C-alpha cells in the first residue's frame, strides 16, 4: 500500500500563513504541522511508500519531509504547471508511481487517529463522509446510494453527505479511476477536480461511504478553519484512555493494543492487584509492584495505577477517562457483568468504550501455556502459597488424592459476578491418601508412597500444595521429610501434636489417642524449621486439644508455644458441628497474635461461609475430604446398579462419557 498526498496547491486563502511555505506546513499544535501529523499517522500504520505531489515551495517541502526522520520512503513529483491546473493533473504527473492500493489524501486534511484506523481497517475502497455534520455550502459533498459513493463535488446537495478527500482505494478500483483521470488530462481537462473524472464512472470504482460522524476530519482552507481544527485537536490530545492489565508478561499482542490505545489519548494503565488476579485466574507469577514497573517502562504510557478489584468502578470514578479500551472477548462470557458496569459508568459522564478484536494468535496461547508450565516448577510453586496469603488474606484449599482429583481442583471454576471463582491450593490429606489405597489413616501409608501421590499431582497441576504430615513422625525423620517436601515444591506441611499410634481426628475420643507434650512437639517444630532450606516453606502446627477435649486454655497455651517455637501457622481442629469453640479460639488467639495464619478444616462445622471465617481472622480453609466422599457413593451406586441389572445400560445415565473425562487430561507437547 502507498500513500498519495496532494500538495501542489497554492493555499492562497491562508493569507500570510502560507507566505513562506506550502499550506501543509502550517502548524496545528505546538509540535506538529498538517503534514508532519499526516506522515506520522502513515508511518504508524506501517505504510512505507509515500508519493507527494508538489508545486508551490517544493524545495522547502522536500527538505522538511526529509528532516522529519520518519521510516518512510518519499517520491516527490512536481506538477510543473501547478498554478494553471488542479490536482487532477498532479495525479496524472505521478501516475507511474501509483500502481498499488492507495491511501489518497489532500495535503490540507487533518483527521484524528480513529478516523485513519477506520479507513485502514476498511476491507473495501472507501471515502470518509459524515452523516452528522451539516452540508457545507462550498466544500465537497458525496452523493450516496446504498452506502456507495456515486458522485463527489461541491454542487451536490441531494442525497448527499459532507465528504472529505481521504480515501482508501484498492488497486483494481483505483485503476478504474486513474484511467479516467488520465483520459481527462490527455483531453486537456486539467482544471477540474479528480472527482470530476470519478463522477463519470457512475459508481463503478466501488467506493464505499465510510461514515466518521463527528470525529475530526477537516480540511484547513483559511485561518478560521485553522482555529477550529487547532481547538478540536487540543481537546483530542487532552483525552485520557484507560486500560486494565492482569498479565505477568508483556508480549507483542499487548504492545499492539497499547499502541492503538495510545493513539486515542493519554494512556492510563490500571494494573490489577494480586488479589484480584488470583480471584479470577491464578496467583500471578509476578507481583503487582513489578507488573506496574513493566508498564511504567513502556514509552508513551502516561500513568500506571493500581486497580484493586475486578470492577473498574473505583478507577473510572477517580480518573474519569474519556475512553476505556478492552479486547472484545468480554462482550460474551463471564466478564460480561464487568463490561456492563463499565458502559453504565461511562454513560454517566459521556465516556466511550472502544473494543478491539481479541487476538487468538496461537503464539500468545503458547506463551501462556509456557507460563503455566513454569508455575508447576517446584521453586515457583512453593512460594506462591505465602504470596497468596499476603495478597488475599484467605485462601481456599481442596483435597486431592491422585492426578485426576488434582486436575479437578486445578480446573474447576465457577463464574460469579464477573469473576471466576476457584480453589487456590490443594490439600494432600492423610485420610484420603490412605483411603484411596484402601488403608486406615494410621500413618500406615509410608512417606515414600505419600511422596508418590504428591508427584502424581504435581505432574499435572500448578496450584500450591499443603501436605498433611500426620504427626511428622520421629523428629529425626521429620527433618528429612521437610527437605523432601521442599524439593517436591510443597508449600506447607501441617503436623499434629499427637504421639504414638495416630488415629484420624474425626474419631475424637472414641479411640485412644495421645497428645504430645508441648516441649516435645516444640522441639520437632524447631528441628523442622532449622532443617528447611527455602525461605518460603511453612510448617504449620495442628492443635488437637479440642478434639481430645483438653479445653480451650490448653489449645491456646499450645498455640502460643508452637508459634514461639517457630510454627509459621496454627491449625485448630474440632469435630463439633457447632462452630462456636473454633470461633472462640480464633478470637482469643487473635487478641494476642494478629499475624500468624490460622488454618481450619471445617468438615464438621461446615455452616460458616468463607467470608465470615475471613472476617473472624481465619486465613486458610481446607475442604479436606469432600471429593473422596463424593466419588465413593457414586462408585458404589454404579457397581450396585450393574449387579442388579446384570448389564450396564441402566447405570449409563449417571455416568460421564469417557470422552469428557479425557478432556480433563492435558495433552503435553
Ligand atoms: C486429613 O484430611 O487427613 C486430616 C483432616 O487430617 S481430618 O480428617 O479432619 O483429621
Ligand atoms: Mg490427616
Would you place residue 71 in the very low, low, confident or very high pLDDT band (cuts 50, 70, 90)?
very high
pLDDT(668) > 70 = no
The model carries a pTM of 0.71
The number of the ligand 1 atom at minimal distance from the alpha carbon of 433 is: 3
Q: What is the pLDDT of residue 615?
A: 98
Q: What is the dihedral of CA 625, 628, 634, 636, to 10 degrees?
A: -110
Per-residue confidence (pLDDT) for residue 669, from 0 to 100? 47
Instruction: Say whether 173 is catalytic.
Output: no
Helices assigned H by DSSP within 307-383 = 313-319, 336-349, 362-375, 378-382
Confidence of residue 12 (pLDDT cuts 50, 70, 90): low
| pLDDT for the residue 14 | 60
Catalytic residue among 441, 468, 497, 568: 441
Determine the 3-state secondary structure of 311 from DSSP: coil
Mean per-residue pLDDT, 566-571 = 98
What is the arithmetic mean of pLDDT over 562-591? Answer: 98
Mutational pocket test of ligand 1: of 511, 548, 625, the residue with most ligand atoms within 8 Å of the beta carbon: 625
Query: Which pLDDT value is given to residue 554?
Result: 98
pLDDT > 60? residue 613? yes
Strand-strand pairing, 217-219 and 208-211: unpaired
129 compared with 249, residue with greater pLDDT: 129
Band of pLDDT at residue 16, cut at 50, 70 and 90: low
* DSSP H or E segment with residue 49: strand 49-54
- Give the three-state DSSP class for 197: helix
Tell me which residue of 257, 245, 418, 277 sits closest to 340, measured CA to CA.
418
pLDDT of residue 365: 78
Our answer on whether the CB atom of 513 is closer than 6 Å to any ligand 1 atom is no
For residue 52, pLDDT beyond 90: yes
pLDDT value of position 13: 62
Would you tell me how many other CB atoms lie within 10 Å of the CB of residue 185?
Answer: 21
Is the pLDDT at 323 greater than 70? The verdict is yes
Nearest ligand, measured from the Cα of 624: 1
| Confidence band for 627, pLDDT divided at 50, 70 and 90 | very high
Instruction: Give pLDDT tens digits for 466-502.
Output: 999 999 999 999 999 999 999 999 999 999 999 988 8
Q: Is the pLDDT of residue 606 over 80?
A: yes
Q: How far is CA 352 from the centre of its chain?
A: 19
- Ranking 298-307, 351-360, 538-547 by mean pLDDT, the lowest is 351-360
- Mean pLDDT score, 561-579: 97
Per-residue pLDDT, 10 = 65
Instruction: Concatenate the DSSP letters of all residues of 601-652 into one string.
Output: --SSSTTS-HHHHHHHT--EEEE-SHHHHHHHHHHHHHHHHHHHHTSSGGGG
* pLDDT category of residue 511 using cuts at 50, 70 and 90: confident
Q: Is the CB of 625 under 6 A from ligand 1?
A: yes
pLDDT digits (tens, 9 = 90+) for 649-660: 999 999 999 988
Residue 429 beta carbon below 6 angstroms from any ligand 1 atom: yes
Using the mean position of ligand 1's atoms as its centre, give its distance from the Cα of residue 494 in Å: 10
Q: Ligand 1 pocket check: which of 468, 502, 576 to mutate, most ligand atoms within 8 Å of Cβ?
A: 468
Q: CB neighbours of 4 closer than 8 A, spacing ≥ 6?
A: 50, 51, 52, 53, 91, 94, 98, 102, 103, 104, 105
Give the per-residue pLDDT at 630. Answer: 96
List the residue whose alpha carbon is closest to atom 7 of ligand 1: 505
- Lowest pLDDT segment from 14-23, 234-243, 357-366, 606-615: 14-23
Q: Tell which residue, 234, 223, 300, has the closest CA to residue 29.
A: 234
Instruction: Please state, in angstroms and as integers, the Cα–Cα distance from residue 401 to each residue in 352, 407, 429, 481, 625, following that order.
Output: 50, 10, 7, 19, 9
Average pLDDT taken over every residue of the chain: 93
Which pLDDT tens digit goes with each residue over 190-226?
A: 999 999 999 999 889 999 999 999 999 999 988 899 9
Band of pLDDT at residue 11, cut at 50, 70 and 90: low
Question: Which residue did the predictor score with more confidence, 316 or 263?
Answer: 316
For residue 15, the model assigns a pLDDT of 60
Q: What is the DSSP code string of 512-525?
A: --EEPPHHHHHHHH
- Decide: 651 and 639 in contact? Cβ < 8 Å: no
Per-residue model confidence (pLDDT) at position 282: 75
> With contact defined as beta carbons under 8 Å apart, do 128 and 73 qualify?
no
CA 578 to ligand 1 centroid distance, Å: 18
Q: Whose CA is nearest to atom 5 of ligand 1?
A: 624
Q: What mean pLDDT comes out for the span 132-145?
A: 94
User: Is the predicted pLDDT of residue 382 greater than 90, yes or no?
Assistant: yes
Q: Which atom of ligand 1 is nearest to the CA of 441?
A: 3
Amino acid at each position: 500500500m502507498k500513500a498519495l498526498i496532494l500538495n501542489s496547491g497554492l493555499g492562497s486563502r491562508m493569507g500570510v500563513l502560507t507566505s513562506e511555505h506550502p499550506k501543509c506546513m502550517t502548524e496545528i499544535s505546538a509540535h506538529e504541522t498538517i503534514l508532519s501529523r499526516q506522515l506520522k499517522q502513515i508511518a504508524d500504520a506501517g505504510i512505507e511508500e509515500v508519493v507527494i505531489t508538489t508545486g508551490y515551495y517544493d524545495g522547502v517541502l522536500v527538505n522538511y519531509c526529509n528532516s522529519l526522520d520518519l521510516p518512510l520512503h518519499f517520491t516527490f513529483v512536481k506538477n510543473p504547471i501547478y498554478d494553471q491546473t488542479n490536482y487532477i493533473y498532479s495525479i496524472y504527473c505521478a501516475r507511474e508511481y501509483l500502481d498499488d492500493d492507495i491511501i489518497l489524501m489532500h495535503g490540507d486534511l487533518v483527521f484524528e487517529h480513529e478516523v485513519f484506523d477506520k479507513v485502514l481497517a476498511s476491507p473495501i475502497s472507501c471515502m470518509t463522509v459524515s452523516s452528522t455534520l451539516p452540508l457545507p455550502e462550498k466544500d465537497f459533498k458525496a452523493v450516496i446510494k446504498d452506502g456507495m459513493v456515486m458522485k463527489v463535488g461541491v454542487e451536490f446537495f441531494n442525497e448527499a453527505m459532507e465528504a472529505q478527500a481521504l480515501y482508501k482505494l484498492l488497486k483494481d478500483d483505483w485503476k478504474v479511476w486513474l484511467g479516467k483521470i488520465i483520459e481527462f488530462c490527455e483531453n486537456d481537462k486539467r482544471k477540474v477536480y479528480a472527482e470530476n473524472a470519478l463522477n463519470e464512472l457512475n459508481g463503478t470504482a466501488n467506493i464505499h461511504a465510510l461514515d466518521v460522524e463527528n470525529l475530526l476530519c477537516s480540511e484547513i482552507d483559511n485561518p478560521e478553519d485553522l482555529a477550529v481544527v487547532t481547538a478540536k485537536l487540543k481537546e483530542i490530545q487532552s483525552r485520557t484512555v484507560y486500560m486494565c492489565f492482569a498479565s505477568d508478561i508483556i508480549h507483542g499482542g499487548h504492545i499492539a493494543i497499547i499502541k492503538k490505545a495510545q493513539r486515542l489519548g493519554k494512556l492510563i494503565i490500571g494494573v490489577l492487584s494480586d488479589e484480584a488476579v488470583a480471584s479470577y485466574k491464578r496467583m500471578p507469577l509476578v507481583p503487582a509492584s513489578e507488573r506496574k514497573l513493566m508498564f511504567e517502562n513502556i514509552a508513551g504510557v502516561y500513568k500506571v495505577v493500581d486497580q484493586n478489584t475486578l470492577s473498574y468502578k473505583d478507577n473510572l470514578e477517580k480518573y474519569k477517562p474519556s475512553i476505556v479500551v478492552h479486547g472484545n472477548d468480554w462482550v460474551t462470557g463471564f466478564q460480561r457483568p464487568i463490561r456492563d458496569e463499565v458502559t453504565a459508568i461511562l454513560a454517566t459522564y459521556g465516556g466511550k468504550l472502544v473494543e478491539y478484536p481479541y487476538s487468538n494468535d496461537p503464539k500468545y496461547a503458547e506463551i501462556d501455556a509456557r507460563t503455566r508450565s513454569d508455575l508447576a516448577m517446584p521453586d515457583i510453586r512453593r512460594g506462591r502459597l505465602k504470596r497468596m496469603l499476603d495478597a488475599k488474606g484467605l485462601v481456599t484449599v481442596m483435597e486431592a488424592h491422585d492426578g485426576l482429583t488434582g486436575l479437578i481442583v486445578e480446573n474447576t471454576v465457577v463464574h460469579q459476578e464477573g469473576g471466576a471463582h476457584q480453589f487456590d491450593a490443594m490439600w494432600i490429606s492423610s485420610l484420603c491418601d490412605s483411603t484411596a489405597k484402601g488403608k486406615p489413616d494410621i500413618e500406615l501409608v509410608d512417606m515414600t508412597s505419600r511422596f508418590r501421590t504428591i508427584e502424581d499431582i504435581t505432574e499435572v497441576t500448578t496450584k500450591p500444595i499443603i501436605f498433611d504430615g500426620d504427626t511428622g513422625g520421629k523428629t529425626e525423620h521429620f527433618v528429612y521429610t521437610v527437605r523432601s517436601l521442599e524439593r517436591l515444591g510443597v508449600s506447607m506441611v501441617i503436623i499434629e501434636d499427637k504421639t504414638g499410634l495416630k488415629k484420624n481426628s474425626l474419631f475424637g475420643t472414641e479411640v485412644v489417642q495421645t497428645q504430645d507434650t508441648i516441649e516435645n512437639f516444640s522441639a520437632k517444630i524447631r528441628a523442622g524449621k532449622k532443617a528447611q532450606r527455602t525461605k518460603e516453606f511453612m510448617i504449620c502446627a495442628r492443635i488437637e486439644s479440642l478434639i481430645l477435649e483438653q479445653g480451650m486454655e490448653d489449645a491456646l497455651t499450645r498455640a502460643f508455644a508452637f508459634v514461639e517455637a517457630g510454627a509459621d501457622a496454627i491449625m485448630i481442629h474440632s469435630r463439633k458441628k457447632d462452630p462456636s469453640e473454633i470461633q472462640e479460639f480464633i478470637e482469643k488467639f487473635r487478641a494476642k497474635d494478629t499475624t500468624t495464619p490460622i488454618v481450619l478444616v471445617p468438615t464438621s462445622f461446615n455452616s460458616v461461609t468463607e467470608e465470615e471465617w475471613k472476617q473472624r481472622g481465619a486465613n486458610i480453609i481446607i475442604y479436606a475430604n469432600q471429593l473422596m466422599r463424593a466419588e465413593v457413593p457414586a462408585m458404589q451406586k454404579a457397581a450396585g446398579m450393574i449387579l442388579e441389572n446384570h448389564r450396564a445400560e441402566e447405570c449409563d445415565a449417571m455416568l460421564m462419557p469417557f470422552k469428557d473425562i479425557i478432556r480433563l487430561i492435558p495433552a503435553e507437547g
